[in-house]
């Protein structure tokens, strides 16, 4: 007997009103293309992309864009697939009136929009039409555009043509889109068409004329068309929400000025009882103008007749909202702004909180700001009827837009809260239905629910996760919640272990206390501090030398069973050799190990994580064959002092990364650049040193201590750019270097370096006139010593690469160098989410790598000893949560295929010194306040979610928790408990 179960918790469900409407939005220039066909005239954007092509980030244009002029039926089909009620699109002024004036109306333009409107109505979708979305005919732009008062009449004449031709079917009009953005970027700072730089003058003239043009188009409809057509006309304003940086009087005043200049400038004339600009704005600009020696204000006043003409000229507000800002006013603003300018007039500073998740462009996720803005509009402007006409965020290319899914969920939740407060919101339009030309960003930002392949002449559309997730589907019209069911869970094997990882130099600090010697990183940060991105160092780092008990407490909070940490070679042997063992160093690690064991946490100890004693470095370091014996002697000291309690050792961390960055390209310590030579010597000696330590343990300690020793290597996965023979060979060579170089000698039947790698380096060396290979061969005795010298593999994995080989690589690489030897190119696929640094999210690559290791090597067992992604400072690290879920899901899939993965260590337990990146990127699941002398640690969202995975032993994609309210994470996840209980009962039945 089986029972199908779907659990829904009513307390976790929020409901939209039955009459609430959903839609998606676009604009004409951004999607239509067909820029010069069927009689369309030039717009000022057609002019800009031809006269200033370099001004577009990727040097693209809207000439073809999404090709919607020809593919409008597919666009309507997409709306049907989404299940939405409404479509907001704009009409191209120069497509209707090529010369800007109604003396010639283009019949082809009329026919196109008639066809689109009819197609929408035939599919039960209501058109919401924007009359002007920044596409001014170039002929009118050349006559002054929005700086010419005659544009009020030009716009009214254009609106009349639209009402006459489409008003029998279009019942929802919006006059002008985002006047603040249009005027500021077009006439204030010259970053959009028409690129007129007139801050503090042209900017205000543009805004003034837009308000009057809206009013004239509204009055026209009101007097001549409303009675027969029965529609409504709205005005679309983009608004941000301000948050004072502090409760100081200056910052509170700055927020009031933000309201006046950012919101009130366009809201007050239309939606307030008084009409006109905010008095605060009028007075400020008047005062500034007089102080600047002018006879009149740069903000040209409205007459009383104009004030009355504008007031009430919108049946609804179209609200576009993307972002909130922290607002402040202090002495740092002195001299910051151009005089005159609107910024100098308003005189406040603004920024986004670094803890808010950021998309690929300008949007930060802070949904409470959306709620506060909506309530503010209700309370300030007599609760007008509102449509959310744009809301969304950007991603790079690709369909796995998890960040956008979370953004929509957060903002729709905030919208529901505003509805509960009585805010009169009638509908919501996602920006955007599809990827499009994002103005000066070109196609580098993608806001679409549907991906457009801009390299495909057919501009094929593909639904992204945000579309498939049905955020805007019929179900989501009525329901927004976190309903969990058994199908949304993935289960870990019962013996799978969770842990977290760190390394000594990155967290300990105390660089020169209690007898510790210098490491080569201590030397680097003193001799070449400019190598570190933020000019910081590991002198104090996370202060774990003093705060190790708090670190153990964090591991307990997480509920993990294992902790991977490394031992600082110069803290144990200040001079590198065992003739002096530092008792304080031994005491520190004894205390740490004992604290872990007292809390039932198993230590996994890395002997060497790049912290070579400086005096050994000065003797050649990893280029000196003697380092094999030095490392063997060091390992013996560790076994003697800690091996009674440490049962899981790892010898050397990431040989490939250490040798490449330290000895090939000189980015890391010891900053030696001998490409194609030193890298291979470093790698060779690391393998021999590892084997030396393994054999010492095997011969002298294993029988009494009963532990195991592993080797830790970092591997990326490669995907061939195409299925061509050349690219497949490039991938094989990539794998021989990045995987086989350190896996083959230890885990293959034959031992030694991969034959392919040996042959490639040998061939390149001979071509360069050398008598022998730069890859010095192992002796047969050395091969036998290395082979089988690991009881487990420690796998560090972060990212994958696309691999290729073609003529573009000719002359690219230094000769000699490892890249010239192996001769492949690599890059991240543009669809992979970029977390920062070198990490691009492609969990399929993790799965493929694990399968590849199983099929090609004799690996006793695997621990994932590092895996994670960076972020900027902040607790709400939703991207990292997604990364861990997806990569652990891939690990479970690999385990299901027989890969012997025993555990996972999150990198990193806490924010730390990230080598040459300093503290600019943060890998920690605990935030460390590096400005606090006490280095306060705070769990991020990823810590709380990782804790739940470790506790429940499932990946629940719907589990959510607020990192700013940690008490909410302490309770049991009831729905998971019930789901697992019922699943167990089904088995028992």
Q: In this structure, what token pair is assigned to residue 440? A: 């000066």
Is 654 catalytic? The answer is yes
Q: In this structure, what token pair is assigned to residue 717? A: 């996965």
Alpha-carbon dihedral of residues 180, 186, 191, 194, nearest 10 degrees? 160
- What does the alpha-carbon distance between residue 666 and residue 674 come to, in Å, rounded to a whole number? 8
- What does the alpha-carbon distance between residue 869 and residue 307 come to, in Å, rounded to a whole number? 55
Q: Helix H segments across 644-747?
A: 655-659, 678-700, 702-705, 725-735, 741-747
| 3-state secondary structure at position 686 | helix
- Which run of H or E residues covers position 16? none
Q: What is the DSSP letter of 723?
A: S
Residues, the chain: 989
Backbone angles phi, psi at 243, to 5 degrees: -125, 125
Is 308 catalytic? The answer is no
Which parts of 697-808 are beta strand (E)?
A: 708-714, 717-720, 792-796, 800-804
Q: How does the average pLDDT of the chain come out, rounded?
A: 92
Query: Do residues 707 and 791 lie in contact, with contact meaning Cβ atoms separated by under 8 Å?
Result: no
Query: Do residues 420 and 378 lie in contact, with contact meaning Cβ atoms separated by under 8 Å?
Result: no
- What does the alpha-carbon distance between residue 91 and residue 174 come to, in Å, rounded to a whole number? 11
- In the chain, domain spans: 21-480, 497-952
- What does the alpha-carbon distance between residue 813 and residue 157 come to, in Å, rounded to a whole number? 62
Q: Could you write out the DSSP letters of every residue in 726-744?
A: HHHHHHHHHHIIIIIHHHH
- What does the alpha-carbon distance between residue 608 and residue 624 come to, in Å, rounded to a whole number? 17
- The model's pLDDT over 282-333, given as tens digits with 9 standing for 90+, comes to 999 999 999 999 999 999 999 999 999 999 999 999 999 999 999 999 999 9
Contacts of residue 29, Cβ cutoff 8 Å, sequence gap at least 6: 43, 45, 62, 65, 92, 133, 134, 135, 437
- Which run of H or E residues covers position 282? helix 279-291
Is 390 catalytic? The answer is yes
Query: Do residues 933 and 917 lie in contact, with contact meaning Cβ atoms separated by under 8 Å?
Result: no
Q: In this structure, what token pair is assigned to residue 383? A: 């609760």
- What does the alpha-carbon distance between residue 570 and residue 582 come to, in Å, rounded to a whole number? 9
Q: In this structure, what token pair is assigned to residue 764? A: 């390149």
Q: Would you state the pLDDT for residue 239?
A: 97
Contacts of residue 795, Cβ cutoff 8 Å, sequence gap at least 6: 712, 713, 715, 850, 853, 862, 863, 864, 865
Backbone angles phi, psi at 858, to 5 degrees: -95, 80
Query: What homologous superfamily does CATH list for 21-480?
Result: Glycosidases (3.20.20.80)
Per annotation, catalytic residue among 32, 119, 135, 178: 178
- What does the alpha-carbon distance between residue 342 and residue 183 come to, in Å, rounded to a whole number? 11
Contacts of residue 563, Cβ cutoff 8 Å, sequence gap at least 6: 499, 500, 501, 502, 551, 552, 555, 596, 601, 602, 603, 604, 909
Angstrom CA distances, 303 to 212, 300, 773, stand at 11, 10, 87
The low-confidence residues of the chain, meaning pLDDT below 50, are 1-12, 470-487, 966-989
Per annotation, catalytic residue among 654, 721, 886, 914: 654
The CATH code belonging to domain 497-952 is: 3.20.20.80
Q: What is the DSSP letter of 488?
A: G
Shared fold status for 21-480 and 497-952: yes
Per annotation, catalytic residue among 135, 205, 611, 866: 866
Query: Do residues 718 and 844 lie in contact, with contact meaning Cβ atoms separated by under 8 Å?
Result: no
Helix/strand/coil (H, E, C) string of 441-506? HCCCCECCCEEECCCCCCCCEEECHHHHCCCCCHHHHHCEECCCCHHHEEECCCCCEEEEECCHHH
Q: In this structure, what token pair is assigned to residue 798? A: 């972060």
Contacts of residue 597, Cβ cutoff 8 Å, sequence gap at least 6: 603, 645
Q: Would you state the pLDDT for residue 465?
A: 83
Q: Would you state the pLDDT for residue 361?
A: 85
Per annotation, catalytic residue among 205, 240, 390, 438: 390
- What does the alpha-carbon distance between residue 7 and residue 130 come to, in Å, rounded to a whole number? 43
How far is residue 133 CA from its own chain's centroid? Answer: 29
Q: Which of 430, 387, 178, 356 is nearest to 871 (CA)?
A: 356
- What does the alpha-carbon distance between residue 412 and residue 407 come to, in Å, rounded to a whole number? 8
Q: Which of 347, 197, 346, 214 is nearest to 282 (CA)?
A: 346
Is 81 catalytic? The answer is no
Query: Do residues 265 and 207 lie in contact, with contact meaning Cβ atoms separated by under 8 Å?
Result: yes
List the Cα angle 519/523/525 in 5-degree steps: 115
């Amino acid at each position: 007997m089986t029972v199908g179960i779907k659990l829904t918790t009513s307390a976790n469900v929020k409901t939209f009103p039955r009459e609430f409407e959903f839609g998606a939005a676009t604009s004409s220039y951004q999607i239509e293309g067909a820029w010069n066909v069927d009689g369309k005239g030039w717009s000022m954007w057609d002019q800009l992309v031809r006269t200033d092509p370099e001004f577009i980030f990727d040097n693209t244009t809207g000439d073809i864009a999404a090709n919607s002029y020809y593919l409008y039926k597919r666009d309507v089909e997409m709306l049907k697939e989404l299940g939405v009620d409404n479509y907001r699109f704009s009409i191209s002024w120069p497509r209707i009136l090529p010369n800007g004036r109604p003396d010639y109306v283009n019949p082809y333009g009329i026919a196109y929009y008639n066809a689109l409107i009819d197609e929408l109505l035939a599919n039960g979708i209501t058109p919401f039409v924007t009359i002007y979305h920044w596409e001014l005919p170039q002929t009118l732009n050349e006559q002054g555009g929005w700086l010419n008062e005659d544009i009020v009449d030009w716009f009214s004449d254009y609106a009349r043509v639209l009402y006459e031709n489409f008003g029998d079917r279009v019942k929802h009009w919006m006059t002008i889109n985002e006047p603040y953005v249009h005027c500021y970027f077009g006439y204030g700072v010259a970053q959009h068409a028409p690129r007129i730089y007139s801050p503090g003058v042209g900017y205000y003239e543009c805004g003034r004329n837009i308000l009057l043009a809206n009013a004239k188009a509204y009055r026209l409809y009101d007097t001549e068309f409303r009675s027969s057509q029965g529609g409504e006309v709205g005005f679309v304003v983009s608004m941000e929400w301000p948050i004072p940086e502090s409760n100081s009087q200056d910052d509170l005043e700055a927020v009031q000025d933000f309201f006046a200049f950012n919101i009130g400038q366009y809201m007050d004339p239309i939606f307030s009882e008084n009409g006109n600009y905010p008095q605060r704005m009028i007075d400020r600009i008047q005062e500034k103008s007089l102080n600047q020696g002018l006879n009149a204000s740069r903000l040209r006043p409205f007459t009383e007749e104009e004030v009355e003409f504008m007031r009430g000229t919108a049946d609804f507000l179209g609200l576009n909202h993307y972002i909130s800002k922290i607002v402040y006013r202090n002495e740092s603003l002195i001299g910051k702004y151009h005089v005159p300018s609107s910024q100098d007039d308003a005189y406040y500073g603004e920024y986004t909180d670094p803890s808010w998740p950021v998309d690929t462009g300008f949007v930060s996720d802070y949904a409470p700001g959306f709620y506060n803005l909506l309530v503010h509009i209700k309370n300030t402007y007599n609760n007008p009827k509102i449509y959310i006409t744009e809301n969304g965020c950007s991603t790079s290319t690709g369909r796995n837009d998890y960040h956008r899914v979370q953004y929509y969920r957060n903002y729709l939740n905030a919208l529901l809260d505003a509805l509960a407060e009585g805010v009169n919101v009638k509908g919501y339009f996602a920006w955007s239905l599809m990827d499009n030309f994002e103005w000066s960003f070109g196609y580098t930002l993608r806001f679409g629910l549907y991906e457009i392949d801009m390299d495909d002449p057919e501009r094929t559309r593909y639904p992204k996760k945000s579309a498939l997730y049905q955020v805007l589907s019929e179900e989501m019209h009525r329901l927004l919640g976190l309903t969990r069911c058994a199908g949304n869970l993935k289960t870990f094997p019962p013996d799978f272990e969770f842990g977290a990882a760190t390394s000594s130099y990155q967290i300990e600090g105390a660089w020169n206390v209690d007898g510790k010697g210098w490491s080569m990183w201590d030397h680097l940060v003193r001799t070449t501090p400019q190598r570190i991105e933020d000019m910081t160092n590991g002198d104090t780092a996370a202060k774990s030398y003093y705060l190790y008990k708090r670190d153990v407490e964090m591991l307990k909070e997480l509920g993990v069973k294992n902790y991977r940490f490394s031992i600082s070679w110069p803290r144990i042997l200040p001079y590198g050799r065992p003739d002096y063992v530092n008792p304080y160093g031994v005491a520190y690690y004894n205390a740490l190990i004992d604290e872990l064991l007292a809390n039932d946490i198993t230590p996994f100890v890395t002997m060497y994580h790049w912290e070579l004693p400086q005096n050994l470095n000065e003797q050649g370091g990893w280029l000196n064959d003697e380092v094999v014996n030095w490392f063997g002697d060091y390992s013996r000291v560790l076994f003697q002092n800690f091996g009674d309690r440490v049962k899981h050792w790892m010898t050397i961390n990431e040989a490939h990364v250490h040798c490449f960055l330290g000895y090939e390209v000189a980015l890391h310590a010891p900053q030696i650049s001998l490409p194609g030579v030193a890298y291979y010597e470093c790698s060779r000696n690391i393998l021999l040193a590892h084997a030396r330590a393994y054999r010492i343990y095997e011969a002298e300690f294993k029988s009494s201590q009963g532990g195991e020793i592993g080797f830790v290597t970092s591997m990326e996965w490669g995907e061939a750019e195409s299925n061509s023979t050349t690219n497949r060979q490039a991938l094989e060579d990539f794998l021989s270097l990045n995987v086989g170089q350190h896996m083959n000698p230890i885990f293959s039947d034959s031992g030694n370096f991969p034959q392919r790698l040996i042959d490639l380096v040998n061939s390149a060396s001979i071509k360069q006139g050398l008598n022998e290979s730069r890859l010095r061969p192992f002796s047969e005795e050395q091969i036998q010593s290395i082979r089988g010298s690991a009881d487990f593999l420690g796998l560090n994995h972060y990212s994958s690469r696309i691999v290729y080989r073609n003529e573009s690589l000719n002359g690219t690489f230094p000769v000699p160098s490892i890249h010239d030897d192996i001769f492949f190119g690599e890059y991240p696929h543009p669809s992979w989410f970029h977390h920062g640094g070198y990490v691009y999210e492609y969990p399929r690559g993790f799965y493929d790598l694990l399968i590849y290791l199983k099929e090609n090597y004799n690996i006793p067992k695997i621990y994932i000893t590092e895996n994670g992604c960076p972020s900027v400072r902040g607790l709400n690290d939703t991207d990292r949560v997604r990364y861990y879920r997806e990569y652990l899901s891939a690990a479970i899939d690999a385990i299901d295929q027989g890969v012997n993965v025993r555990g996972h260590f999150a990198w990193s337990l806490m924010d730390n010194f990230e080598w040459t990146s300093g503290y600019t990127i943060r890998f920690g699941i605990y935030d460390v306040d590096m400005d606090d002398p006490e280095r306060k640690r705070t769990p991020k969202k990823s810590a709380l979610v990782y804790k739940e995975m470790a506790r429940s032993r499932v990946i629940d994609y719907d589990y959510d928790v607020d990192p700013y309210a940690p008490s909410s994470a302490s309770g049991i996840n009831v729905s998971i408990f019930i789901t697992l209980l019922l699943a167990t009962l089904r088995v028992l039945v």
